[in-house]
Structure 1
């Protein structure tokens, strides 16, 4: 029986996948769900069999499945609503020429499902190996199916550095190798008509981007996710989550994007809100941020009873600053504005880690920064800094969103994706198309549960935010052991040179 269940509940062969066996033979196991519930879930998610192939049994419902009597495709096809033409005897001979949807067909399907998929078999989580309900496994398979189908139109992927591809590959996979290409006009023009393009826009030449945006091809814009990794992208630590947006990108307030549409048009279910609340509590409790985990050690309030403000620096030529920064174009301008608004506050300035590492633009000489800030803290976990202060000021930095998770007051000086929903004090341009008042968990449900794609660094399978959080908390990392130290050395050299010539 377990061989049939293994064929029907197969895990897709994502690149590098090494998940746990999900079907186990357990003689004497009694089912804990009804066959009808299992069949309904499989139909709802169109999950089962080799669903990553474009011509799987779910694709042509009017075409009969013709196979030998012991072939599990007959049962799966019948569940999918396809007629069965059975050659000879076998386990599924009773399905032969039954009318799909008839009472007899449904009774026969449920009898076979009970015998082959529920009795004497148990199911396991592909990420952890822990026992799970078959309904939970089907939900995971259904999520993978939706991901794979969303990736099918991709004809090429441009702007992906080699050190990113190992973790991005499974998240863009559609049953065949992801077509990573060099960003050239010739490669773009060689694509089949109608093929979509996945692109990391910040990593392709301007001329290529201009040709792409002027052309007719659908564009899927890819960026880092919001729970990214234990380490910096500028140090070549690969992302464990990405955003793939077919409308725009979340940090450009002037254009539509999937995140803004989710927030403005869709109300999360009670289950999603409860899940978002649990995830939010977990992230805050453990100090999880975009680039790592906090220490759990509270920071002292060096300003005593004064109101403590955290001012978060950014990479000044980052696309989120270019599109969403508004009137505030530099970190120094942000510091000056905050000091002018809060002359009596204790202000802590946090340089962006990529800037502090020496890789990106946005450094402020320490003497200059201390004209407006009372302290500079480049090293403490951002989650601990947020926990210590009363209020956080950002241009568009994700630290503002992370501060909302902790229940802090947040002032935005640009137009980040989390502005304009009634949760922040917004000094930037009013975001077009926003204004709907959201609860914090409604924001979290879209931003962390629905919008990004996540990768489990242990199994190399696409996963949920909760699985990635668990892995990060357990100390699992994915990084190029040769490239990361080299990048850190380059950053150290740049910082040393800047200090030598008096730039800091």
Structure 2
């Protein structure tokens, strides 16, 4: 299985991974001790690392890597999440998953263990013993030092701190897109570009003609079913967040504003 950097870019639709990549696994040995605690704190605060763009699952109390033994006595099937060793085509967001968990079961170098340690969740190794927090922070440092970093907009060499800032910006953008149930009022030639722009890490919202209501299309669609203003078009007039830089180009675009009915 090919190793992937801990701090890595989301798989943006229509964009080659090599273009969007902010990190590359490096065989060279880097000094993990040079990774400061402040960077680990920034990562935990930004909730980036691993498949942070993945879908979210609620109600989980125990998270385990497949193959790692655990005792799930007293927990229902819906309260246990067993994640495969290989990254699936539709991954889960480990940060939202582990933030609600009572325990994590994974090897110390596993991303689940690293993120659990950064969140302060008890992590149990394959032998069932609790892994010391400092060992988990050392594993995080080693994972960060195992990659080199780049500016995906110009290809220049970057630092791990630069990568965290870029990933944090993308996380804010993706999180902001999660509440968009549907898009309407766009010309056909714009829809493909908007599909990519409104991607939330898991899906892109469906597009409808302006006159069609957003009936039952997830999110808040159910309460927008009545009236001629059931779903309003995207407004491009005012930016509501700081500029979002898409790896698709070097242009700076503003995040769209979706207007809710009055």
Please give the range of the TM-score, normalised by the shorter of the 2 chains. 0.5 to 0.7
Separation (CA, whole Å) in 2 of partners of 1:86 and 1:31: 22
Moved over 6 A (4+): none
Relative to 1, partners in 2 of residues 1:147 and 1:65: Cα closer, same or farther, differing over 3 Å?
same
Q: Secondary structure of the equivalent of 1:42?
A: helix
Query: What are the Cα deviations for residues 41-81 of structure 1, in whole angstroms up to 9, with x where unaligned?
Result: 10121111111123322114241222355532211221133
* Mapped contact 1:47–1:138 kept (Cα < 8 A): yes
- The change in CA–CA distance for 1:174 and 1:35 in structure 2 (over 3 A counts) is same
Mapped pair 1:40 → 2:41: yes
Distance 2:34 2:164 in 1: 13
Deviations 1:307-347 (A, max 9, x none): xxxxxxxxxxxxxxxxxxxxxxxxxxxxxxxxxxxxxxxxx
For structure 1, list consecutive stretches of 5 or more residues without a partner in the other structure. Answer: 99-103, 198-207, 224-248, 251-257, 260-449, 459-466, 470-504
Counterpart Cα distance in 2 of 1:71 and 1:32: 19
Give the 3 Å change call, closer, same or farther, for CA 196–128 of structure 1 in structure 2: farther
- In the alignment, what sits opposite 1:468? 251
CA distance in 1, matches of 2:141, 2:203: 36
- The CA RMSD measured in Å over matched residues stands at 3.3
Change (3 A) 1:182 1:166: closer
Query: Is 2:171 the counterpart of 1:153?
Result: no
Equivalent positions of 1:450-489 (< 5 A) are 450-458=241-249, 467-468=250-251
CA separation of 1:196 and 1:156: change in aligned 2, threshold 3 A = farther
Is the Cα contact below 8 Å between 1:123 and 1:134 reproduced in 2? yes
Flag structure 2 segments of 5+ consecutive residues without an equivalent.
Answer: 57-92, 253-262
The alpha carbon displacement at 1:7 in A equals 4.4
Shift in alpha-carbon separation, 1:30–1:66, aligned structure 2, 3 A: closer
Structure with more contact order per residue of length (Cα contacts < 8 Å, sep ≥ 6): 2
Name the structure 2 match of 1:163.
Answer: 189
2:156: which partner in 1?
Answer: 130
- The answer to whether the Cα contact below 8 Å between 1:25 and 1:122 also exists between their aligned partners in 2 is yes
Considering fraction of residues, name the structure with more helix.
Answer: 1
Q: 1:61 to 1:170 in 2, by over 3 A?
A: same
Q: SS at the partner of 2:251?
A: helix
Distance 1:62 1:456, change over 3 A: closer
Partner of 1:110: 137
Secondary structure at the counterpart of residue 10 of structure 1: coil
Q: Residue 221 in 1 paired to residue 234 in 2?
A: yes
Instruction: For residue 455 of structure 1, report the CA deviation from its aligned partner.
Output: 3.1
- Alignment TM-score, normalising by the size of structure 1: 0.37
8 Å CA contact 1:148–1:173 kept in 2: the answer is yes
1:57 corresponds to 2:57: no
| Counterpart contact for 2:114–2:137, Cα < 8 Å | no
- Distance, in Å, in 1 between the alignment partners of 2:48 and 2:208 is 35
Structure 1 residue 168, shift from structure 2 partner: 2.3
Whole-Å separation in 2 of the counterparts to 1:67 and 1:195:
39
> Which has the higher Rg, Structure 1 or Structure 2?
1
> C-alpha separation between the residues in 2 aligned to 1:121 and 1:7?
6
The equivalent of 2:64 in structure 1 is none
Q: Say if 1:83 and 1:164 are closer, same or farther in 2 by CA, change over 3 A.
A: same
Distance 1:137 1:451, change over 3 A: closer
Match of 2:106 among 56, 67, 74: 67
Q: How has the CA–CA distance of structure 1 residues 160 and 83 changed in structure 2, closer, same or farther, with 3 Å as cutoff?
A: farther
Question: What residue is the counterpart of 2:62 in the other structure?
Answer: none
Query: TM-score when scaled to structure 2?
Result: 0.66
Task: Measure how far apart 1:173 and its partner are.
Answer: 0.7
User: Paired residue for 1:293?
Assistant: none
Q: Is 1:179 the equivalent of 2:209?
A: no
Secondary structure (helix, strand or coil) at the match of 1:155 reads coil
Instruction: Summarize the Cα distance change of 1:185–1:112 in structure 2 as closer, same or farther, 3 Å threshold.
Output: same
CA-CA distance at 1:32 after TM superposition: 8.7
CA deviation map 1:391-439 (0-9, x unaligned): xxxxxxxxxxxxxxxxxxxxxxxxxxxxxxxxxxxxxxxxxxxxxxxxx
Q: Please give the secondary structure, in 1, of the residue aligned with 2:203.
A: coil
